[in-house]
A and B are shown apart, each in its own frame.
Chain A
Amino acid sequence: AQTVTQSQPEMSVQEAETVTLSCTYDTSENNYYLFWYKQPPSRQMILVIRQEAYKQQNATENRFSVNFQKAAKSFSLKISDSQLGDTAMYFCAFMKHGVNYGGSQGNLIFGKGTKLSVKP
C-alpha cells in the first residue's frame, strides 16, 4: 500500500519570502503521479502543481516549484515570493498510474497536510 507523509504540521513564512514544504512517500510502483493541493478555509481543494514520476525535470507553475527526488521518494514544494493568499492547508498526494488505466481507479492518497501561514 502507498503512504504519504508530511512531517511539518504547521509552518509560517513572511510575505515575499520563500518557503519549502516537505513530503515523502512510500510505494513499490515505478510509474505514478504526485500532486500538491491547496485547501483554503473555504474547504475547496485546488490543484497547485503535479509531477509525473518518469519525468526527471521538476515541475514549475509560476511561483510554485517542486523538488522531486525519485530515489529518495521525496516531493517537496517550494513557494517563492509568498503572498497572503497562499495561507492555507497544503496536501501532498499520490496517484497510482495504471497502464491503459488498468488497476488504477484514479483515487488520490493524501498526506495529513501542512498548515501554512503567510505573515505580513
Chain B
Amino acid sequence: GAGVSQSPSNKVTEKGKDVELRCDPISGHTALYWYRQSLGQGLEFLIYFQGNSAPDKSGLPSDRFSAERTGGSVSTLTIQRTQQEDSAVYLCASSLVAPAGFDNEQFFGPGTRLTVL
C-alpha cells in the first residue's frame, strides 16, 4: 500500500530481551517521527529524522533506546534490555518535507504493540 507501514504489528517479549521495531515511511517522505503511546504517559514524542539524521535524541526515554534510519527510508527503533514499563504502542509517522508543519501533514502508521512480560 501507499501508507506508512510498521512491523511487527504485535510483539511479546520477556523482560531483559532486546527488540527491534520497524517503520517503512511513505516513499519519498523526508521526515520520520517515532512516538510512544502508553497508558500512563499518553502519547509522547521520541525522535525525529530529517533524512538519515536525527538532530535531537533527547526525547528517547533512556539509553536503552536507540533509532536509526538508512537510505532515507526505513527506520528501526531498538530497545535493549526491555523493561515492563516499555510496554506501549510505538507509532511511526512520516511527512513529505522535513520538518512537518501545518501544510506538511504527518501520516501515521498503525503502530507496533509491545508487551514486555
Chain A contacts to B: CB under 8 angstroms: 33, 42-47, 50, 52, 91, 95, 97-98, 101, 104-113
Chain B contacts for A91, CB-based, 8 A: 43
Q: Give the shortest distance, in Å, between B32 (CB) and chain A (any CB).
A: 11
A47-B105, A91-B43, A113-B42 known; A106+B98 contact, CB < 8 A? yes
Size of B's binding interface in residues, CB under 8 A: 29
With both beta carbons as reference points, the residue of chain A lying nearest to B93 in the complex is identified as: A45
Q: Give the shortest distance, in Å, between B87 (CB) and chain A (any CB).
A: 15
Q: Give the shortest distance, in Å, between B21 (CB) and chain A (any CB).
A: 14
Cβ–Cβ contact B111 & A43, under 8 A = yes
Chain B contacts for A43, CB-based, 8 A: 89, 91, 110-111, 113
Cβ–Cβ contact A33 & B102, under 8 A = yes
Chain A contacts for B77, CB-based, 8 A: none
Known: A42-B110, A44-B108, A106-B104. 14 other contacts (CB 8 A): A43-B111, A44-B109, A44-B110, A46-B108, A50-B102, A52-B102, A95-B100, A97-B102, A101-B99, A104-B101, A105-B99, A108-B106, A110-B43, A111-B42
Mark each residue of chain B from 52 to 94: 1 if its CB lies under 8 Å from any CB of chain A, else 0: 0001100100000000000000000000000000000101010
Chain A contacts for B48, CB-based, 8 A: 105-107
